[in-house]
């Protein structure tokens, strides 16, 4: 049996209220770092997401290829169904990508599309 997927969050998916709405529970999380990326910010226009997160400007990460660039966040242990639910939550400016974190773990992360 495969292990549950890991999802690296640097933004609103760390919020317990967002997790309760998206996953139906507060998710176990651990600190980790995403190397080779930097945080930028994007305006969100989806009213549902703004209402849920409480913000119209959300962080978004972009790959830089420079290992000195780092994004601090949390690794969430989610199920496949919860990963699908997070896909539904994220708006079209994000795409899900597989990355290797500073801890050496592989995880999904939402990056700039």
CA–CA distance, 33 with 35 (Å, rounded to integer): 6
Domains and CATH numbers, the chain: 6-112 (3.10.490.10)
Model pLDDT for residues 3-29, shown as the tens digit of each residue: 789 999 998 899 999 999 999 999 999
Instruction: Using DSSP bridges, classify how beta strands 29-35 and 37-43 pair: parallel, antiparallel or unpaired.
Output: unpaired
The 10s digit of each residue's pLDDT in 44-84 is 888 888 888 888 888 889 999 998 999 999 999 999 999 99
State the pTM of this model.
0.88
Antiparallel, parallel or unpaired: β 70-77 and 6-9: antiparallel
Residue 51 CA to residue 57 CA, distance in Å, equals 12
């Amino acid at each position: 049996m495969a292990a549950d997927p890991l999802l690296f969050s640097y933004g609103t998916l760390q919020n317990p209220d967002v997790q309760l709405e998206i996953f139906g529970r507060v998710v176990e999380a651990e600190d980790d770092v995403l190397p080779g990326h930097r945080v930028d910010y994007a305006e969100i226009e989806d009213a549902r997401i703004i209402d849920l997160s409480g913000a119209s400007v959300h962080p978004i990460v972009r790959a830089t290829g420079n290992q000195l660039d780092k994004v601090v966040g949390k690794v969430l242990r989610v199920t496949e169904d919860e990963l699908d639910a997070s896909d539904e939550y994220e708006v079209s400016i994000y795409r899900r990508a597989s990355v290797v974190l500073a801890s050496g773990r592989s995880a999904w992360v939402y990056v700039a599309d």
